[in-house]
Amino acid sequence: MPPYGVHELLIKEREGSGAASSTSDSVDPTAQAALIRAVRDGDLERVRYLLSRKNISLLLRDEHDSTPLYYAALCGEFDVCKLLLENGAKADEKTFDGERAYYAALNDRIRTLLRDEGFKRQVARGHYPFLASLEQLNVARQRDGAACMEEEEDIFSDVEVSLDGSGGGRPLSCHFFVLRARCPRLARYLGSRRKGIPVGMGDRYRVLCAVVSYLYTNRLEIDRKLATLAVDVLSSLRLRDLAAAVTEARDGGDGSTSSIVIEPDAQVTRARMVGAFSPFALYSESRSPQLSQSHIEEGFDVILSSGGAHFAFHKALLCVRGEPTFQFFQKLFADDPLKNTFNMADVAPVSLHILAQWLYSDEIPEDLDLPSLLDALMFADYIQFPVLKQCVASEIARSHCDGENCVALLHVARLSDCETLQDEALAHIAESLEDEKIYGDPLLGELILESANEVENREAVDTIELVDELRWHIQNELADAKAEGEAQERAEAKHALLEDILRELKLQA
């Protein structure tokens, strides 16, 4: 028997006529389409009305991969943009949705709004890519559960709760590994059933929707009228701290709001989520190229192998962590949906080890040598994981970039398009430019020439990006010295060496 309260949470006879109604976790495609139309038309009152409903999402993308905020920015609707941001639309810096809305904005006023009220707010509360990926997975599973874009977006959900025994209605889709990490008691009950669990509509189902969403986001939003029921259900699931928080909000509030929202700050959320998911990295390494029973019990559904090393992963997280450019794994898995073992012969085993660590925590192993990190950097660039690439590049810049290898690392940075590593390498080149091994390195000249050739139909008066950045670092070094005399002479000597390099390359900048 399931724990007290969970059985009734999942299996309950319909009350009254049994007619299905949308839940706070369900997205009504008709209402969502109406929201998009109202946003594009700039109909502020209509948007405000639709936002008051519980069956729309500001994070859901349509068939054009666009959110409501993107359309508001594109159409120049400043007031609509502001309203959407105030109601939870996200414009996180350096994310697909945030950058797309920013660069699509019709005017500078909207760009300023997105930067100041969107980007700044997200940065202030802390932006963690791992948490953003789980939130995106939460949105995607709701889309999948609403049978919206189901063919185009397979997010590998493996637990499906239908609303009745006939398979009708909109199912609640979720991922067993998320349940396993966040609520083992619920995972044990659902894990033996997985697909097509029939439930009736009603208050208990609405509580289930809210709890499942909480497992992905660490944010619980529940109708105040359902607070007592939610406390019972949360207690039965042994989520006692959350039950206590709901009890406190129910008893301590003035009742002026219709919902109870429990949401710790971003740092607490990150610590809690990483603590729940990071053990998967420890379980990932496998002795066999096949999924073992223990791997299946942890929700792993794919093995990636290289050089005799084998690592288990969750397909859904591999796909969503590479967003916005997740085509590599999406295509790999789509080519043979039943296959769960893939040999990646061109990948160094250490790169898969680094991927496993990063995938569940936003962190990479400490004390890695430079060759291992360079392998991982090229791997991340190949599979198009920009956040992993940035993480590895930052570690190389912090721990391994020096006057001995800065020119070679500048070459690597340009090949892999890593601005962080390029900037650190240029700083070391500027610092050590007087060393003959630096200014006399033929590779440095090749990179400067390559940078010059990036300017189409370049003329002598055009600048060269790499040279400009080197000059900036030289001047910045001088400013940091806060001195004239010897420091000024060194700076002038370095500028003269740069001019010598340009003359030798027959360039002017």
pLDDT-flagged residues of the chain (< 50): 1-25, 119-126, 145-153, 165-168, 324-325
For position 101, what pLDDT does the model report? 84
Report the candidate in 347, 399, 345, 342 with the shortest Cα–Cα distance to residue 377. Answer: 347
Tokens of 181: 């990490």
Length of the chain counted residue by residue: 509
3-state secondary structure of 88: coil
CA distances from 281 to 292, 326, 345, 360 (A): 16, 20, 21, 7
What b/e sequence results for 382-402 when a residue is b if at least 16 CB atoms lie within 10 Å of its CB, and e otherwise?
ebbbbbbbbbbbebbbeebbe
DSSP letters along 289-349, please? SS--HHHHHTT--EEEEETTEEEEE-HHHHHHHTTTS-HHHHHHHHHSTT--EEE-TTS-H
Q: Which residue spans of the chain are classified as CATH 3.30.710.10?
A: 6-16+146-272, 278-383
Per DSSP (E only), the strands in 30-89 are none
CA distances from 391 to 193, 379, 419 (A): 38, 13, 12
CA distance 317 to 244: 31
Run of H or E including 387? helix 386-399
Q: Which residue spans of the chain are classified as CATH 1.25.40.20?
A: 29-130
Report the candidate in 46, 278, 430 with the shortest Cα–Cα distance to residue 68. Answer: 46
Q: Which amino acid is at 373?
A: L
Q: What is the pLDDT of residues 310-364, one digit of tens each?
A: 999 999 888 887 654 456 887 788 778 788 899 988 899 999 999 999 999 888 9
Cβ-proximal residues to 226 (8 Å cutoff; 6+ apart), any chain: 203, 206, 207
3-state secondary structure 361-372: CCCCCCCCCHHH
Quote the pTM value: 0.69
Tokens of 385: 């994981």
Report the candidate in 428, 425, 422, 430 with the shortest Cα–Cα distance to residue 389. Answer: 422
For position 13, what pLDDT does the model report? 30
The CATH architecture assigned to 278-383 reads 2-Layer Sandwich (3.30)
- Per CATH, the number for 29-130 is 1.25.40.20
3-state secondary structure of 507: coil
| Residue 197 near residue 185, CB atoms below 8 Å | no
- Per CATH, the number for 6-16+146-272 is 3.30.710.10
3-state secondary structure 213-258: HHHHHCCEEEEHHHHHHHHHHHHHCCCHHHHHHHHHHHHHCCCCCC
For position 50, what pLDDT does the model report? 83
CA distance 434 to 440: 9
Tokens of 338: 């039943």
